[in-house]
Structure 1
Amino acid sequence: MSSLLHLIPGARRRMRSLQFRLSQFWDRQSDGDNLPVPWDFKILDDLQWWTLDHNLWLGQSLQLASPDVCLYTDASTVGWGVSILHDSVSGVWATHELSLHINLLELKAIRLGLLHFKDHVRGQTVAVFSDNATALSYLAKEGGTRSGSLNAEAQAILQWAEDHAVRILTQFVKGSANVLADCLSRQDQIISTEWTLHQEVCNLLWRLWNYPTVDLFATRLNFRLPNFISPFRDPMAVATDAFLYNWDHQNLYAFPPFPLIRKVLNKLRMARQTNVILIAPFWPQREWLPDLIQASVDTPRRLPQHIDLLGQPHVRKFHQALPMLQLTAWKLSSESFVTEAIPPELRNSCQKIADFLVFLRQDCRMSVTAIKGYKAMLNGVFALKGFDLSTDPVLREVIKTCSRQVQRPPCRAPSWNVDVVLKALTCPPFEPLHQASLRDLTKKTLFLVALATAKRVGELHALSQRVPSSSLSSVVGREDEERLLCPVRAVRRYLAATASASRPRSLFVSLRDPARRMSKAAISFFLQDTIKTAHESFPEELGPLFKVWAHDIRGIATSMLLWKNSSVASILEAACWKTHSVFVDYYLCDIQRQEGDVSALGPVIAAGDLVGPLPH
């Protein structure tokens, strides 16, 4: 029987029941050959199949099979998804299926997909694509002996395929490339590679820089042009893999995953008469920036930071970190990479760099020192190509103009409301303080101490048990001990809750291991979490929180003193600054009242001083 496994279709499957029973009741080394093994009717049916001559004469085709239909499947612990041709199907698991192993769920997803698309696959050779190697192995080997549940599911699939004249081929695909099925099986999950630009923004770019013909990096879920290239086989796509596609003599649109930007520039360098509209984050520290500038043929455009600029259509969610990306549109040309040692080429390159430096100054609001640093970096890169930028009069004039236009940054409003956080700290779960959990007590104490001392995260990390109480005792008297926003009250309660023989000398200790001091990352996380949690319970008029920094508390604490008409000297002393320029340039905030008066909540300590009502 074993000698015919590769010669007769379905032969291996007719041996699995016998092999599985032998593995359960018989050990080759410890048991003899005469050990009786119980059998069942399934084994009897499979053995009778071997006795029929027409089964033994079927034979295998020597010609390699090519698939007629491609079936992409994926499963998660929540649901499953299958895509085929221009159609797809998905579902969620029943309650009794949620506890099943993921390998079994992957096989179930394959079977459900075949059942749903039975009219498409009947009598066809079907290539099943999955990112689960175990599930594919059980199909390719027609079962197995290690898992009874996997073997039973594989046998059910193969029996159904035999009844419907379906030949199954298996093909492993990486999870990052199995995008469609992955989206269908995880319909609430954000996929990092599937962000898409708002169509209206794309249309504006098309009108500005001509309509491109192909979307290089897209799927059927997020394409922005009728012709798109998919990272995997898709009948709707014009090609598979943008880097294998011929870019010559075309106008293209590219919004690649950010790690692929270097490969995009390398591909563009090898292309001929090719124009590309590239969407990329403005990260000047990346090594591909000089090549991006060299390939640019027009001034880059900073994209508007609308909340719906980047989205994922399949989950209807939007990117929440647009300020960190600073997405920029670039018009690139492969002809810009042509290097010839002639003066016009040098003049064109200098003009591009001048436009880029103006872009850094006007759009990105970078300092003159930073712009000079970029000019020096670009000069070092172009020197390798025989170009000397240091003597160009245009670039010198750009630097001089930027130096004459030095301006103070505007007094900016913080991205969050301090009143909202303070009000939240006076309500459950933070109050009553003696009933608060250790986590909530830690968050409240951290925020009040950070506001009261205007210290950095690193300085909060270095505080000892005795410093805060003694340094704030002159500000908050005994009559204020029971005030809800008193930092001394919160610190004393926190020290009592965390007291132990193994407690370190530092003020804040780890929640997981009270014998260790709290890390800087944990302090920063708790401060941000306190701010975000407080804003979640208030109406949308407060605006979205794109990014919250723990360091913002230092600027708000010192700004509250300024609006109280405190002297600049007292502010500098509280924050340990030598000159007022640091405060004015980087920390001064325009604090506006949005949710009532702080004075109604009790005394508030900010940067070592008592702060009353702030101006409306």
Structure 2
Amino acid sequence: MGGIKSQACNAMAKEIWEWCIPRDIFVTAQYIPGILNVIADTKSRKFNDQIEWELDRAVFQKLCCRGNLQRQWLFSRDYQHLIIIMARINQKTILHILYVNKWLEFSHQRQINSMQTTVVNILDFLTALYPTLGYSALNTAKAALSSFVTLKDGTPLGTHPLICKFMKGVFNLKPPAPRYNTTWDVKPVLNLIRKQSPVESLNLRDLTLKTCMLVARQQTLHLLNIDTMQVTTSSVNFKINELLKQNRPGKPTGCYLNIKKYLPDPNICVYTALVEYIDRTKDLRNGEEYLFISYKKPYKRVSTDTIARWIKCEMQIAGIDVTQFKPHSTRSAAVSKVKRSMLPVSDILQHVGWNSEKTFRSYYDKPIREDGCNFALALMKE
């Protein structure tokens, strides 16, 4: 029947068989579909990213094949550190994994140690990337290597004088430019949302897209959980216990999201749409605890990419140029509009969770494009 390495489980299995055999009872394992095994299936799907990590398989294979990783080193302290580091990188951004793969390929071709090397090899690698990458991408590649590569002279990779001078040279030759010099006007989107009313008459797809657009923050939407939700007659409150991109070691994780009822115009009220969405989906969830689920079967939790597609779809219907503006631009459009309503910058920073006014000025405070939107005008025309 097979076995496992757990002595406790083997002892329990042995005890069960010793009881069954004298009684002519034969025990077999049988598959039960998740839909019939709801409690166990739900528990097995719960993921806690504070304790559950996995080394990216592609990186591990490259380490084994190209990084001279010997079997007896697998559980050495250095490689345990690498596994933990790679797991954190994989959780944070896929771009790091991309440049780690490129570095391992480069190391294999040059027949050099991928874990400990010289500054000359690092500069050769960054120079090879330079023709096709800008300053920001090269800086990401440098950060990926800094997390696990050490230099033979003992200097930290990220602060080595030659690497710092190289990056300054790249900055001068290819200065980074913001993705957007302007942002879009939120009026066409608000007009579209007003037309998608009342919420009780919308099908599940349109209700889902409207609710996502009104909240319009991909990472936060992906993490909203109905188990930590409190609904009152005037607000919906969420406690987000998972890691956000702005979280740092030594600081409390998670945050609170408070969505209040907007009385002046119920047609664009986030609270109204959200309460209707919660009520509409409660019988479709089958134990799914995350707020946003697919509007088609099997009604499971959606990814950040799906949420981004939903937001992009609403933007496109409203006439926003989605070839230029991505779903993440909703934040810039919203705060730029609010600033022009003469709300103090300090209030904006407090509401959106920014610590520095420089962040707002550099990345989000943009001139609003005033050009007309023929599609939106035609759509809203009576």
When normalised by structure 1's length, the TM-score is: 0.31
- Of Structure 1 and Structure 2, the greater helix share is in 2
Structure with the greater alpha carbon radius of gyration: 1
